[in-house]
Amino acid sequence: NAGVTQTPKFQVLKTGQSMTLQCAQDMNHNSMYWYRQDPGMGLRLIYYSASEGTTDKGEVPNGYNVSRLNKREFSLRLESAAPSQTSVYFCASSEAGVNGYTFGSGTRLTVV
């Protein structure tokens, strides 16, 4: 009964380094999302995937790319990390919002 699994839980990067955040869900949900959460800013949508094979930009996509690898997995890539990308990243999944959204436990990323 894992739900949504995110890896890694913590990461420190140097400016300019790249990394991929992994997300997998086992609930057979069609829709998956990547959010970042900063103090006082609430949850901001980076990218989403309404269904396998589709991805779309959210509110703050600059500096990120995503891949919907299959129905279970949705990864987020930072090609050249910047200090402004220091944040907590959450992956979420849903079945068209019918029963709400299930979140992973988050990745705390610091870019120095």
Partner 1 sequence: RKEVEQDPGPFNVPEGATVAFNCTYSNSASQSFFWYRQDCRKEPKLLMSVYSSGNEDGRFTAQLNRASQYISLLIRDSKLSDSATYLCVVLSGGSYIPTFGRGTSLIVHP
* Residues at the site binding partner 1, with contacts judged by CB under 8 A: 31, 40-43, 45, 48, 50, 58, 88, 90, 94, 96-106
CA dihedral of 106, 36, 83, 17, whole degrees rounded to 10: 60
CA 100/CA 107 separation, integer angstroms = 21
In the bound complex, what is the minimum distance in angstroms from residue 31's beta carbon to partner 1? 5
Contact predicate 54/69, CB 8 Å: no
Tell me whether residue 14 or residue 39 sits nearer to partner 1 (CB atom): 39
In the bound complex, what is the minimum distance in angstroms from residue 50's beta carbon to partner 1? 4
Tell me whether residue 80 or residue 99 sits nearer to partner 1 (CB atom): 99
How is 73-111 classified by DSSP, letter by letter?
BEEEEESS--GGG-EEEEEEEESTTTT--EE---EEEEE
In the bound complex, what is the minimum distance in angstroms from residue 38's beta carbon to partner 1? 11
Contact predicate 102/4, CB 8 Å: yes
In the bound complex, what is the minimum distance in angstroms from residue 108's beta carbon to partner 1? 8
Tell me whether residue 17 or residue 52 sits nearer to partner 1 (CB atom): 52
Tell me whether residue 17 or residue 103 sits nearer to partner 1 (CB atom): 103
